[in-house]
Amino acid sequence: MPKVSHKALSPKIHQKLMHQFWSTLANLRTKQEISDVMADLLTPTEQLMLAKRLATAILIFRGYSQTQITHTLNVSFSHTGSVANWLKNAKPQTINQLQRLSHQKDWQAFTDQVQALLDKLVPPPKYSNWSQTGRAKHQRHLSRSAKSLLR
């Protein structure tokens, strides 16, 4: 986790600093510009952490369970819990952005890959009908294939 100085900034300087930071990010126009700036500002670990946080939020938003997300993204239960809690208290702009993102083709393809991985990782529950579970997995596979062809 990044360390911040124990010496507090004055509220005026803090506000100006944050304004400049957000203005700088808002001026970035292309994916390449954003990628270059973020690669210089953030360590690879911080970049992965933010990407997993966003992916966790979208998967929660799309209705995946904490267990599914934890196994797929290799994150802890406390991580998915904190992201779920964050989503409950998120601002309307954040919820709107997540809705918009979850309907983009890239994120739909990502969630299809997550579902395919979960079908391989998660065995049928104890005392369940394995034949019926296998048919359901096959139907999900056919559905994913049809979606990918339509994209």
What range defines the domain where residue 113 resides? 104-151
Please write the tens of the pLDDT for every residue from 67-108: 888 888 889 999 999 999 999 999 999 999 988 888 887 787
**Which structure tokens are listed for 138?**
């096959």
Q: What is the mean pLDDT of residues 131-148?
A: 76
pLDDT of residue 127: 78
Please write the tens of the pLDDT for every residue from 4-26: 777 888 889 989 999 999 999 89
CA–CA gap between residue 47 and residue 59 (Å, rounded)? 18
Q: State the total domains in the chain.
A: 2
CA–CA gap between residue 118 and residue 113 (Å, rounded)? 9
- Its pTM surpasses 0.75: no
CA–CA gap between residue 116 and residue 122 (Å, rounded)? 10
Asked whether residue 83 falls in the same domain as residue 116, the answer is no
Q: Looking at the predicted structure, is the pLDDT value of residue 141 above 70?
A: yes
Q: Are 149 and 112 in contact (CB under 8 A)?
A: no
